[in-house]
Structure 1
């Protein structure tokens, strides 16, 4: 009897919250979805007292109005929060979020989907195994058919991988560096786990500590050189430059700085599917040495276009038309990826946001449960989005 009353109260609270939110389309599960917009007067002008930090989710806000509190409680139980009607079409009614592994370590990064073997490669970054600040010469491989997790080591060992892209049978990785080496760009053969370093300097100057990378359709690299690994003392070297975005020609390995962020920090990076635009996350709100969060610091996603040659019309390694695409609703975007359809997926806080690449509107958020499960990076599979992050979560968001 008591359990039945609890269930009735829970259903009543859900119904109350849903009645105060925009109605979701037919065919979408109301327990997994919420549609939030300022067309709702209750959310456009919140009664009473309310407040939250920019590092918190909207549903974590402190509110005095019981109706808004009920809305937030409902949102905290959902997997998907729509801010724009197009988000329903992007995700689809059959989408679910499933947690596959619970790894009790610090942060997981650098996911790569290997289609030939149906495996997910990723790393534990900055966690146990290397002292207080971390340091690892191993990586993980998850068999997606059996959900079996295995540790692997490359030959030679690869320390502190931070970013990964899979292309033409190889894992293309960047590292923070390790006890005896600075950061570098390398390839790993997943059939043999042989690692080949292909770039470790900019005209004989070391890098700070690489954070992430992406590749364009021509096979060129875009690398973010970040303060993050240096700030965690993952290698014993100094920071020779400000945080910088580099272009590396995939054939000649000729390198060029595209931009640097003297007041912020480089992090996630993504190339549009047509190769014409570049998206860069500035996560300067997370400061290092000393490590602290600065609410006045940047939490922004920037967009750029590539210049073209007047003579040939070919794309040049020059960025133009810099524009602030969006600021993360909560926290900041760590991992950033562009889908085949061009939507930008940014992981940060307790969500993966989907951003319109033209207007910068945030279409909606994919939630991975909160409560310590925080997405840090992501990769697209066949019909899934694979997410790794804090709290040891490895999750997949299945869509139609």
Structure 2
């Protein structure tokens, strides 16, 4: 179908089927001009924060978004990313809890990931130890439980470094509350063969960290970059209120040194590095935050659509040791930006709401993958690293396309 622009500036149609796959639709001219009246409700009470909730009564073409999987905004580069035969599969229904910390171990062809505490709040601390491993050596893949030794409490962020899994524990309880073993927010290595876990960082000069939410490994130096928002206290995953400001850090495991890289974000969340290690991306999810006052009971506030929910880019120089030139990258259209990845091609991928957004390095949205479940994080897998797994509440899904992950190191 050939689109055209009406005298009032509205593209007709605004949304249309495109490509050879019936699950692909194109949004013409980014729907930059919409006919009145239109309305988009943002809420976390149901699926209201989904892009498909945009109501445009006089533009029936928006109905095509309801059943679409791939939404293309830039046709040339969007179809380059999707390839000739993109596929989406809902693979495993899971509990209505957040699934996070995906780590792909290429030598085993296994994908490890975690399950964070269920909601509503109140589960005993010992219940927060459930993790999974996905065996990709068979089709369909086999999903099984996985427990490191000793267990890692509520892993929130994950990465891969020097043949080992990196998992951040995002909860903290004293020994009497957790089967006699003290658990604190920490960064851990896990041997994928023996499953032995080792704590490599658990404090900042004697202060407890708040979360250690997400991780990224510098592709040249191997330094570990991580974010530290307030969420465990808000979500009752810790018995200790925040002691230091929310911030982001660089950690050198070989020396134990921790460096502050940014403390300007209210709730720093996802974090990722470009393939050359020269650009750092951090997601800010302050639109969803809670109390940090130890005199008040923990609890997450209602979602605030005018709160901070942007992705920022930073320059990385001097062999990864200098972070500068913070700049706005993208204001997330749905809910909050969570897990981030950067492809080998330099595309930025953001888990947000009920979808995965794909941007070019300037912050231009190229494609959105719409899902039947929320998306909190994502991970590339496979020999060619062109398979993407999407993780969130209620399930995980698989996308096969033409976007390539960075080679784990």
TM-score by length of 1: 0.85
Which stretches of structure 1, 4 residues or more, deviate above 3 A after TM superposition?
Answer: 21-25, 128-135
1:307 positional shift: 3.8
- Partner residue, 2:53: 60
List gaps (5 residues or longer) in structure 1.
1-17, 309-313
The size of the alignment, in residue pairs, is 363
The more displaced of 270-279 and 133-142 is 133-142
Task: Tell me if structure 1 keeps the 8 A contact 2:311–2:330.
Answer: yes
SS at match of 1:336: strand
Task: Tell me if structure 1 keeps the 8 A contact 2:112–2:132.
Answer: yes
SS at match of 2:209: coil
Q: Give me the whole-angstrom Cα distance separating, in 2, the residues matched to 1:74 and 1:252.
A: 54
C-alpha change, 1:133 and 1:20, in structure 2 (3 Å) is farther
1:356 aligns with 2:377: no
Per-residue Cα deviation, 1:268-327 (whole angstroms, up to 9, x for no partner): 00011101111000000002134211111001000000243xxxxx442x3211110111
- Partner residue, 2:63: 73
Task: Tell me if structure 2 keeps the 8 A contact 1:176–1:230.
Answer: no
1:129 positional shift: 11
Q: Map of 1:325-336 to 2, 5 A cutoff? A: 325-336=329-340
Task: Tell me if structure 1 keeps the 8 A contact 2:200–2:253.
Answer: no
1:24 positional shift: 6.3
C-alpha change, 1:250 and 1:271, in structure 2 (3 Å) is farther
List gaps (5 residues or longer) in structure 2.
1-10, 44-48, 175-182, 292-298, 403-409
- Partner residue, 1:45: 33
Q: Give me the whole-angstrom Cα distance separating, in 2, the residues matched to 1:249 and 1:330.
A: 35
- Partner residue, 1:305: 315
Q: Map of 1:107-146 to 2, 5 A cutoff? A: 107-127=98-118, 131-132=122-123, 136-144=128-136, 145=138, 146=140
1:214 positional shift: 0.6
Q: Give me the whole-angstrom Cα distance separating, in 1, the residues matched to 2:320 and 2:88.
A: 38
The more displaced of 264-273 and 113-122 is 113-122
- Partner residue, 2:187: 185
Task: Tell me if structure 1 keeps the 8 A contact 2:41–2:53.
Answer: no
1:36 positional shift: 0.6
What's the Cα RMSD here?
2.2
Q: Give me the whole-angstrom Cα distance separating, in 2, the residues matched to 1:105 and 1:390.
A: 5
Q: Which structure has the highest strand share of the two? A: 1
Per-residue Cα deviation, 1:174-211 (whole angstroms, up to 9, x for no partner): 11133223211110112111100011111121101111
Q: Give me the whole-angstrom Cα distance separating, in 2, the residues matched to 1:387 and 1:59.
A: 19
Q: Give me the whole-angstrom Cα distance separating, in 2, the residues matched to 1:238 and 1:341.
A: 41
1:23 positional shift: 6.3
Q: Give me the whole-angstrom Cα distance separating, in 2, the residues matched to 1:124 and 1:162.
A: 8
1:38 positional shift: 2.7
SS at match of 1:229: helix
Task: Tell me if structure 2 keeps the 8 A contact 1:245–1:258.
Answer: yes
C-alpha change, 1:44 and 1:296, in structure 2 (3 Å) is closer
1:133 positional shift: 8.1
**Which of 85, 89, 95 lines up with 2:80 in the alignment?**
89
Q: Give me the whole-angstrom Cα distance separating, in 2, the residues matched to 1:19 and 1:109.
A: 40
Q: Give me the whole-angstrom Cα distance separating, in 2, the residues matched to 1:281 and 1:186.
A: 22
Q: Give me the whole-angstrom Cα distance separating, in 2, the residues matched to 1:131 and 1:142.
A: 28
C-alpha change, 1:399 and 1:177, in structure 2 (3 Å) is same
Task: Tell me if structure 2 keeps the 8 A contact 1:138–1:154.
Answer: no
- Partner residue, 2:407: none
